[in-house]
Amino acid sequence: MSEHRPYTYVTLSMRPDSDPHVGVSFHTPRLQIRAGLLMGTPRPYLEFASHEADVHISTTGAGPVTDADLDIAREIFNAAARYLADCELLHAEEPAEDATDTAA
């Protein structure tokens, strides 16, 4: 049985004449997720954070909520619901971790 150790993977790609690209992959149960309004502003935020990396999501240009911001928030909500459903399905199909082999 292989051991799956937690990790966070961050990459930065920079090519001439192109915008930089940052990739963040969280593979850890130590992920913290927060949402709320930024202190002193009417601006919502969503944050994914591990010890190694943080991802913050907020409104376009740090301004008022736009129709595009609402669309993105709905996409995040739907993707999170799908992720939960897939995790629940796969978890239900996995054998119990504490089960022992009774074959002799």
Q: Name the nearest CA neighbour of 32 among 20, 43, 22, 46.
A: 46
How far apart CA 55 and CA 53 sit, in angstroms, is 7
How far apart CA 23 and CA 58 sit, in angstroms, is 18
Distance of CA 57 to the CA centre of its chain: 11
Tens digit of pLDDT per residue, the chain (104 long)? 467 889 898 999 999 999 999 999 999 988 999 999 988 888 999 999 998 899 999 999 888 999 999 999 999 999 999 999 999 999 999 887 655 544 54
Alpha helices in the chain (DSSP H): 67-93
pTM over 0.85: no
